[in-house]
A = this chain, B = another copy of it.
């Protein structure tokens, strides 16, 4: 829970909860108790949504949007430890509704779209910069995200820096698994469908398109870097080239944990992950992912690998080996230590530092 709470706190500067709101919520959570987590965040979402309506009545549209975006952040955190089912879906849909209303109230122009893929639809948002010739950054989250929360984590910062921003859920992300579309090894296929749409609908030029993958999205991005030629620069935090190693690590941790003490939150989270993976258990997952490895020698696109020092050993090993071995003429590895305050998983404790690194590097390679 600590990681997700830190994440929620890390969204603050981009319009998420204040320290006071986050700690008030935390005071109602019993460690490991998923129900207490969900109720505390859901209730705060209701409080903030009601406050947003009060601001609207007073004619304060900006304040309404600020409160509504915080309400989104609450509902989004609320579903984190809910098992798949009606409640998960209801909280998720409520979070989406608040996100879109907040954007409108904040006056942030955005287009919600869906992309046909494999008989289903991938949802996303496109944020067009005022200058249509600037680069576009496509941000892809990981196992525990939805595309909307990438706005608070990274997207809004790039928009404020003048970039266009695309956020999208790939199979197994957000609610896409409801359509029977689960995480898949060949991520270049849905990403190709996304790029088709970015080019035809939003006139994005591939030579000005950057892809940022976070967490499990570090695999999605590395994979796309190897097989999808229409990307000008790729960033992964951290890199993941061999997902089965990570999944096996989680399985081992699970097997070693004392089942009687295993927290409800952890168990629920695992159930959600299996749902996203489209597997009933680890052995089924292993079957699907066994032998799936991205070859660093296939990588010729400019590539930025980012690694926080708090990342686990599997992430560290794969990121460092990847950086050493990729064939790209332009490659860079940024390792962030405790002093940077950005050493947590995907820089959740200091999102701005990741933004600064990505922005600085893109200026040099694009």
Contact = CB atoms under 8 A, between A and B. Distances in A.
A359 B63 contact: yes
Contacts of A12: 12-13, 19
A11 to B, nearest CB: 10
Contacts of A350: 18-21
A18 B363 contact: no
A108 interface: no
A189 interface: no
Given A12-B12, A24-B341, A66-B352, A360 B55 contact: yes
A47 B62 CA distance: 35
Interface string A355-366: 010011001100
Contacts of A248: none
State the number of copies, please: 2
A161 interface: yes
A342 B22 CA distance: 11
A339 interface: yes
Interface residues of A: mostly helix, strand, loop or mixed?
Answer: helix
Interface residues of A, number: 43
A349 interface: yes
Given A63-B356, A356-B55, A19 B24 contact: no
Nearest to A364: B58
A353 B18 contact: yes
20 contacts: A9-B19, A10-B18, A10-B20, A12-B19, A13-B13, A18-B342, A18-B349, A18-B353, A20-B341, A20-B349, A21-B340, A21-B341, A21-B350, A22-B341, A24-B341, A55-B360, A58-B360, A58-B364, A59-B363, A63-B360
Interface of A: 6, 9-10, 12-13, 17-24, 44, 47, 55, 58-60, 62-63, 66-67, 161, 338-344, 347-353, 356, 359-360, 363-364
